[in-house]
Amino acid sequence: MNKTEYMNPYFAGVLLGLVLLATIYITGRGLGASGAVKSAVVASVESTAPGHTADAKFYKEYKTEHPESPLKNWLVFEVIGVVIGAFISGLISNRLKFKLDYSPKSSSKIRIAGALVGGALFGFGAQLGRGCTSGAALSGMAVLSTGGIITMMAIFGGAYMFAYFFRKLWL
């Protein structure tokens, strides 16, 4: 077997679905990712500017929802697991390598700028939309949440809408 081949997508999908199902059955909540970034942001701001977190509304609201330390959060632990799991997968499939992926027609500088701006947009959008592709779209679909499914359609619809303008980055 070719070591760098990817898993059959439908099989991977079934496994993903079972992981999500088990998560919902055990914990009563779905998967997520952007929430961990939020925890990290709150924790960093808290340690660098404690006065600010006591004043600004966003942090105050966060504090009332999560009275414990921002890093003592389910999603933070889950994302630590994701890093381990993906690393193991990369290890056994021989894909561990420091690498900057970009299209041959593009350049490394453009890719770095794109990743940074794209990440910022995604981070911002995930806060506004109360979850990202994992937390809102995938988990929302599993429990048939109206909001989750609307967010899912908006993410993919938006991506198709804007794809044409950024085709030079990828094709």
Partner 1 sequence: MGPLVPDVIGNELNFIVAIFVGIAFGFVLEQAGFSSSKKLVGLFYGYDFTVLRVFFTGGLVAMIGVIILAHYGLLDMSLVYINPTFLWSAIVGGLIMGLGFVVGGFCPGTSVCAAAIGKIDAMIFIVGSFLGVLIFAEGYPVWEPLYKSANWGNVRIFDTMGMSQAAFATLLTVMAMGAFWAVRLVENKVNKITDYNVFNNKKYIWLTGFACLLGIAAFLLPDRKEVLMNEATLVPSSHLQEMEITSDELAFRIIDKERDLFIYDLRSQKDFEKISLPNSTRITLQSLFEKDTQKLLGVSKRMNIFISDNESEACKAAYVAQRLGFKGVSYLKGGFMQFNKDIITYSETQPTDNTVSIDTRRFRADAVKAFVEIIKESKAKSANSGNKASKRVLGGC
Give CA–CA dist 83/33, Å, rounded: 11
Residue 88 is a binding residue for partner 1 (CB under 8 A): yes
Identify whether the C-beta of residue 41 lies closer than 8 Å to the C-beta of residue 71.
no
Closest distance of CB 1 from partner 1, Å:
13
Using CB under 8 A as the binding criterion, the count of chain residues that bind partner 1 stands at 123
C-beta atoms surrounding 45 within 10 Å? 17
Cα–Cα distances in angstroms (integers) from residue 34 to residues 31, 98, 154, 158, in the given order: 10, 23, 17, 18
Closest distance of CB 40 from partner 1, Å:
7
Residue 38 is a binding residue for partner 1 (CB under 8 A): yes
In the set 47, 69, 74, 168, which binds partner 1 (CB under 8 A)?
74
Give CA–CA dist 118/110, Å, rounded: 12
Question: Binding to partner 1 (CB under 8 A): which residues in 106-145?
Answer: 111-112, 114-145
In the set 22, 54, 69, 105, which binds partner 1 (CB under 8 A)?
22
* Ramachandran region, residue 151 (left: φ > 0; alpha: ψ -120 to 50; beta: rest): alpha
Give CA–CA dist 72/70, Å, rounded: 5
Closest distance of CB 139 from partner 1, Å:
7
Closest distance of CB 95 from partner 1, Å:
5
Residue 1 is a binding residue for partner 1 (CB under 8 A): no
Residue 47 is a binding residue for partner 1 (CB under 8 A): no
